[in-house]
Structure 1
Amino acid sequence: MSSPALARAVVAPLVLGVAALLLWQVGVTALDVQPFVLPSPLAIGAEFAQNAGSVLAGSRVTGGNALIGLVAGAVLAVLVAGVSALVRVFDGLTAAIVAAAAVVPIVALAPVLYTMFGANVETARQLVAALAVFVPVYVNTLRGLRQAAPVHRDLMRAYAASPWQTARTITLPGAVPFFFTGLRIASSLAVISALVAEYFGGPIGGLGKSITSAASGSDYALAYAYVLGAVLVGLVFYCVTAGLEALALRRSHAR
């Protein structure tokens, strides 16, 4: 990406964000909106600064669970997608399971997992995040594995290439952009799922628990400060996956 294009990609969202915050602050002040309805950005920022240590601690818990779920769900999705691309019968069997997994509500799954694994461990939260990650990564990876044109496969057969050589040369490089598309979507879902799962039980800690605690104590600015922490965690996940995608595609094109 050229420098002007990069500048536009960075500056434009920043300008829009600052304008939205200014409008928010002016609107809350001018309309005398009560904090329990919507705190002002300045109040949220002050709470965020005063409780930075607590926000960071909660972010580590939520981010750690989301990261474990992201890695586990993505690895499982790639493995299942690889088998589905090779074995049509297996693809038919997994299609119904994936469709069911896509519509499982977190609010129903989290309490069940807490009952199964106990409320004193993080396993349930990690499994919820992994399930949320699995579907988009699986669907996009499977689509990518099937993108190879038949003429390219025929050409590899004409050269007497082995199945592994065909996969390494044609199938896998073509699937990489699709995999990272699914991973970028899943990175945000992992954070959201881990956060929501914290509302329904589990160990003390995490941004979800902190938001609930602050809101129940009528400290709404602090609750929004924890929400801001969750937003930052989600942005970190998204930016890291986007950076990995850019690096992988650059290396792929270099070859």
Structure 2
Amino acid sequence: MRTSAGLSRTVLAPVLLGLVALALWQLLVVVFEIKPFIVPGPLAIGSEFGANFATVLQGAVVTGGNALVGLVIGGIAGILFAILAALVRVLDELSAAVVAALAVVPIVALAPVLYTMFGAGAETARQLVAAIAVFIPVYINTLRGLRQVRPVHRDLMHVYAASAWQTTRTVTVPGALPFIFTGLRIASSLAVISALIAEYFGGPVGGLGKSITSAASSSNYNLAWAYVLGAILVGLVFYCVTLAIEKFATRHYQPAT
């Protein structure tokens, strides 16, 4: 019974809310005769999405691939640098300003610079933009989690004459898992958004961002929104997969309390 109730809250309730929102959206478009260049109705978007599914899927693969590379690189870098910062206090203090600067770097300014550095025909710039966007929340959340270790656990490891690395590997990192996955869940959506935005400012033709721009510039607003729907689905897949990995990890590994 508890499992059924939990399934209803986590799956059925959001689905029902989404269906109600879509029905209300379609009703407003029909009643007020809202023009497609303002916002098309869900039925028109869905129809265009189905008619151009292969094209949308092709763009989703490009954008999703760049976001995945950025998520992996930025996630690993964020976790490793957070561990080093937790072990070496001086490194933490020195890197604080750099992390703060990275957090406020606008993608609209960074993407063209990276395209110039790595070439407009490569996907490298988009992947690096996604990696930088991912690095910030993963680093901050991981570092916060690494600082939450209870003093009694540190004292116990000290009694056993454990090294700093042994303490980090067996106590600190496992205890920080909830914080690490919180950062990864936030970063999973940011990776898709960053890769999508980076496509607006140059680079190869493929990707949902380029497709949205092309469709909107030709006044095909239904198709543009179909590509937007594709981007939303890519973001949801990233978030759900990250959440599933978190559930699996926390279910099969419970740090000692």
What's the TM-score once normalised by structure 1's chain length?
0.97
Aligned counterpart, 1:79: 80
User: How far apart, CA to CA, are the structure 1 residues paired with 2:105 and 2:123?
Assistant: 20
Aligned counterpart, 2:193: 192
Comparing 156-165 with 125-134, greater Cα deviation is found at 156-165
Residue 140 (structure 2) pairs with residue 139 (structure 1)? yes
Comparing 1-10 with 115-124, greater Cα deviation is found at 1-10
Aligned counterpart, 1:88: 89
Deviation at 1:159, TM superposition (A): 2.9
Residue 63 (structure 2) pairs with residue 31 (structure 1)? no
Aligned counterpart, 2:4: 3
Q: Which amino acid aligns with 2:129?
A: V
Aligned counterpart, 2:222: 221
Number of residue pairs aligned between Structure 1 and Structure 2: 255
Deviations, residues 108-165 of structure 1 (Å, cap 9, x unaligned): 1111111111100000000000000000000011111111112211122223334344
- Sort the Cα spacing of 1:206 and 1:234 in 2 relative to 1 into closer, same or farther, 3 A: same
CA contact (8 A) 2:66 2:123 kept: yes
Comparing 159-168 with 1-10, greater Cα deviation is found at 159-168
Comparing 77-86 with 63-72, greater Cα deviation is found at 77-86
Aligned counterpart, 1:116: 117
Deviation at 1:78, TM superposition (A): 1.1
SS of residue matched to 1:2: helix
Aligned counterpart, 2:103: 102
Residue 65 (structure 2) pairs with residue 64 (structure 1)? yes
SS of residue matched to 2:244: helix
Deviations, residues 21-67 of structure 1 (Å, cap 9, x unaligned): 11111110111111111111111000000000000000000000000
User: How far apart, CA to CA, are the structure 1 residues paired with 2:162 and 2:82?
Assistant: 23
Aligned counterpart, 1:201: 202
Q: Which amino acid aligns with 2:88?
A: V
User: How far apart, CA to CA, are the structure 2 residues paired with 1:96 and 1:165?
Assistant: 29
What's the TM-score once normalised by structure 2's chain length?
0.96
Q: Which amino acid aligns with 1:131?
A: I
Residue 159 (structure 2) pairs with residue 151 (structure 1)? no
Aligned counterpart, 2:56: 55
Deviations, residues 177-203 of structure 1 (Å, cap 9, x unaligned): 111000000000000000000000000
Q: Which amino acid aligns with 2:116?
A: T
SS of residue matched to 1:253: coil
Q: Which amino acid aligns with 1:195?
A: L
User: How far apart, CA to CA, are the structure 2 residues paired with 1:254 and 1:109?
Assistant: 40
SS of residue matched to 1:39: coil
Task: Report percent identity of matched pairs.
Answer: 68
SS of residue matched to 2:121: coil
Q: Which amino acid aligns with 2:131?
A: A
Q: Which amino acid aligns with 2:128?
A: L
Deviation at 1:93, TM superposition (A): 1.1
CA contact (8 A) 2:174 2:255 kept: no
SS of residue matched to 1:148: coil
Deviation at 1:246, TM superposition (A): 0.6
Moved over 4 A (4+): none
Deviation at 1:251, TM superposition (A): 1.2
CA contact (8 A) 2:70 2:127 kept: yes
Deviation at 1:3, TM superposition (A): 2.2
Unaligned runs of 5+ residues in structure 1 are: none
Deviation at 1:7, TM superposition (A): 1.8
Alignment of 1:10-25 (within 5 A): 10-25=11-26
User: How far apart, CA to CA, are the structure 1 residues paired with 2:109 and 2:157?
Assistant: 48
RMSD: 1.3
